[in-house]
Each structure stands twice: as C-alpha cells, then as structure tokens.
Amino acid sequence: MNESNPFNRLHQSFKHLYADSSDDLLYQFIAELDVLKEKITSNYKSADWYKDVTVYSLYVDLFNKDFGGLIDKIDYLKDLGVSCLWLLPILDSPMKDAGFDIKDYRSIRKDLFRLPDNASSDQEKVLFKRFLDEAHSKGMKVIFDIAMNHTSIEHEWFQESRKSKNNPFRDYYIWNEDTEKYKDARLLFKGMCPSNWEKEGDCYFFHRFFEFQPDLNYRNPEVLLAMTRNMLFWLEQGVDGFRADAVPYIWKEDGTNCENLPKTHTVVKFFRAALDYVKPGTLLLAEACQKPYDVVEYIKTGDECHAAYHFPLMPQMFKAIAQESTEPILKTLSLDITPAIPDASQWFTFLRCHDELSLELVYVNEQDRAYIHSNYCHQPEWDFRVGEGISARLSELFKFDVQKLSLAYSLMLSLPGTPVIYYGDEFGKANDSDYYREMIEMTGKNDTRFLVRGKIDWDEVNRLLADEKSFNAQVFKRLKKLVNTRKQFKAFGRGSIEWFNESNSSLLVFKRKFETEELLIIHNLSKTEQVLDIEILAKQDLLNQELVSKNGQLIVPAQSFYWIDKQQ
C-alpha cells in the first residue's frame, strides 16, 4: 500500500477513527473529491511556497472597511514587501469572538462586501473572486482562518442540535446530562468562563472556549466529512490555504486533558489528505498553543500540517530584549526545546497577533511569566487571564521606542521560520481603547484582547507616514527595508542556521546558509555599544547601514543589528 497516496491516507485515517463505520460513507466522499479535482488546477511553482513569503495578518473590516478597501491597499502591502495575506475570520458570524464563532462555513459576512443580508451567494462569490484575482495578480497568496474545533451557537447545526435529544444533529455536538465528563480538560479562558460545560434545558453542552462556542463532536464521522467539505468549498473559490484554529482540542477522551490526543492527529491527517488529493500545495497551518515537542507532532510526518506557529519563541524574544541577553532565544531554539523538523515543514514566527502576548505555562515557566509581565505590562488593564498574558500592541510594549521595535523585527525576520506581521504594527499602531469599550458593550465580555485590534484611520496614517520624522514613518521605513531585503534571499526561509558561541551574551551572531547564499546576522541586545572580534571588509550591510571596524573588531551600536552578505 502506497502510504503517500492521498486516497490510501484518507482510507487509513477514516478507518482508524471509525472502525465500525461503513466504507460507503467514505467512498461517496471520495467520489465528490474526484469531481472537485477536475475543476481545480494546482498551479503553484513550488509546493512549499510558504517558506519564501512574509505574511500580513489582518481583519478585513478593521484594516480598511471591506474587501473593496483591502483591494485599494494591495499596492501598499506589496510595497511593504508582503507576499501572503492571512485573513483573520471572515466567515459569517455573530462576532462575539471576533469571528472565531462561525455561524456559516460557506458564507463570508455580507458587510465585508457592503452587500445586503439578502444578497445571493453568487454575488458574494463574484466579489470574493475579484479580491483573490487582484491579490494573486500582485504575487500574493491568500489564506484564512477556519475554526475546526467549534461553531457558534447560532450555527444551524447547533440550532437543530438543541431542539431535542432525537434530532439527527444532536450528535454533531457533545451533550451530557451532567458535568462529570472531561473533568481533566483545563479551563482555557480562566477568569472569563467558570466551566467547560454550559447548561441548556436539562442537559449540558461542552465547550473549550466561550459558552457561545460549542465544541464539535468528531466521534461522529458526518462531522469530519462536513468540516472537510467546508475547506474544499473554499479551495474551489481559489484560496491558497487555511489557518486551522484550535487544532489540539479536536478529539476528546474522558480521563485525559483532551489535548493533542492520537485521534486528533488522525483527524488532521484526514484533512491534509483531502487537500492533497484535490489541490496539492494548499497550506494547512496549525494553530497549536503548545510546547514545541507537542507542536512538532503536527508537522513532522509530512501528512498532517505543513507548518505551525512557534509560540514559545515569541515571548522569549521579548525577554531577550528586556534582559539584554541571547540566552532566552538560544535556549528556546536549542534541540532540547525545539526539535528538528523535516525540510518540507516550517515554523511560522511572530511578535504580535490578534491575541494577547501569551504567557501560558505550556511554553513559559513561572519565572519567565513574572519577568516578562513585569517588564511589559505597563498598564493594569493590559492584564489578560490573571497574569497569563498581556494585551498590548507592539508599539505599546516597547513604549514607542523605534530602535527596540526595529531590533525586534530584525530578530523575527532573520531567525528561522516564516514571519508574520500583524496589521498596523508596520507603522506602530497603538492600543485602541475606544474599540475595546465598544466590543465590551457588544459582547458583554471584558476581553482585553480587543485592545490590540481596532480600526485604521488611513487619512491619519497617510499624514503621519508623509512626515519622515514621525515615529510611524520611521517604523514603517525600517520594516519595509527589512522585509524587502529578506525577499531577496531564500536562506532566511529555507536555510540552515549556524550559531557563533560568543562569550559576549549581548551579541546574537549567526549565519544563514542556503545553496550559494551565506548571510552573517548580528544583533546587539545591549543598551550599550559592543565590539565583535571579526574582520568585515564590506563598508555597508544589506540594509545600507555603515559598517565600522577597528583593529579587526566590528563596532556594533546599542540595540542595533547588521545583515551582511558574505558573498560580497
């Protein structure tokens, strides 16, 4: 049996999950795949294109009102150097959790197209295709969020499920007469939700996130097939991949913590096999907030996700800058903490995202948590989940210090992985207190993550960017240079890394190598000038920064960095 064949992988995964289920259900599904495969062309020049991109993450409405506004900003993003757009939740939703509470997996929110609620799905498809065509014409891939673990309580499946115990959709969710099952599953939204069970009539339904987000029951094969069909629907529309939200929690078993269970991986294998069968090269990105050793399980075999976020690296970059020490980064990227991954797999790295600066104990210890929290939680209202995170924009965390922001960006863009820029951070967007208060009123939840979202006033941004001396213009100019320089070298996304064991713990020095490319990267994390014992003949680095050497030593200014092409 050819295990690399998507057909065989679908069959193996399905029978592992549902040994007693009839094969007819699976074969009917595969027949659907055959029809769809004839409609879709996979035209990726490289199946692992995700290694060479810089990702830009955005909410369509908050970024620039709607998809028309996003199209208007495609050239702005291309100029910045962006080559992949990650659309934060766009699917139909009551928006109690910023769109991660999905009401309809086959429909985009009408307001994102300025369409009336009664607009047809065909109108929606035409407008979405117009956006995809524009992005693709400018060399940008497009991926978007899809919550795999749960739906909104407003989803038609749940609305049917709650009607009676005999309803055929009852088994699409997890219902119980009491709260005694899954007692070892940790409470993810500590301080915001008192339990993983919510009472409904004389029963309870299970949820790992908010009480308005009931978990799906993947023990029902119909759920697996329905959720896979939802992804395939969007493949047919032309998207290039999916950020699979909340992957570790998909499968539940009593007596376990209900995270990263073997059959969770089997479910993901089924998703991947279906995508490979229909359109090879479609990215499946795991959102797994876990320790690297657990996350690697989703990307190491080549038949689950292509990539996953390196959550632990993010807080350790902040710690390294505050501590003026390379130790947090070197330790986190050591094989003791971050296992090696296959060539075809990839880490995605980030400084900030739509969520809090997370300090969960799954990837920081108590000492790290206390240190990072004390150095970066500058306002009491930024506290998230009772010390488990900090809700603040990048510029706020670094107190609008251009040099520190630039240093942090250089770290993210030069260390291994595919980098993600969060919308507005490229020009130093601040926390949005007005939006935060607006969302509290709308959702009834004091979720401080709303501080890191908010709308962009482009008239104001354009005015600030036109002033070269403004904080915003300085941040934008420096990041643009970094991103566009990175695009010129595949070594950043694909290359090996060679660390220089400097006795000076303030200097992070390493080489990135790929084929004929060889780059020397230097970061000074200290607030004081440092010297590096190395002979540099070039007068400038790749970022057009002057290189100053004296007596065989390179002078590295405080909190600065150099990207040097060793081939020059």
* Residue 111 DSSP class: G
**Which of the residues 52, 101, 245, 259 is marked catalytic?**
245
Question: CA 314, 320, 323 angle in degrees (round to 5)?
Answer: 140
Whole-angstrom distance, CA of residue 521 vs CA of residue 103: 46
Dump the DSSP string for 56-97.
Answer: EEE-HHHHHSSHHHHHHTHHHHHHHT--EEEE---EE---TT
Show the tokens assigned to 121.
């799905």
Pairing of strands 283-286, 307-309: parallel
Amino acid at 23: D
Distance from chain centroid for Cα 443: 24
Query: Which residues 6+ apart lie within 8 Å of 182 measured at CB?
Result: 196, 206, 252, 254, 258
Instruction: From 117, 123, 128, 113, select the one nearest 66 (Cα to Cα).
Output: 113
Q: What share of the chain is helix, strand, coil (3-state, %, to 5)?
A: 40, 20, 45
Catalytic residue among 211, 287, 368, 432: 287
270 beta partners: none
Task: Supply the DSSP string of 211-230, one letter for each residue.
Answer: TTSPBB-TTSHHHHHHHHHH
CB atoms within 10 A of CB 552: 11
Contact 293, 25 (CB under 8 A): no
Q: How far apart are CA 399 and CA 376, in angstroms?
A: 9
Distances (CA, A) of 494 to 217, 277, 343, 344, 516: 38, 25, 8, 9, 12
Query: Among candidates 265, 267, 270, 345, which has minimal Cα distance to 307?
Result: 345
Only one residue has tokens 């930024």, namely 382
How many angstroms separate the CA atoms of 16 and 10, rounded? Answer: 10
432 is catalytic: no
Distance CA 177, CA 38 (A): 46
Residues 6+ apart with CB under 8 A from 117: 110
Which is it for strands 530-533 and 175-176: parallel, antiparallel or unpaired?
Answer: unpaired
State yes or no: is 287 an active-site residue. yes
Alpha helices (H) in 415-470, listed in sequence order? 433-443, 458-466
Which single residue is written with the structure tokens 């090996």? 496
- The Cα-based distances of 405 to 82, 424, 560 in angstroms read 18, 13, 10
Q: Which residues are catalytic?
A: 245, 287
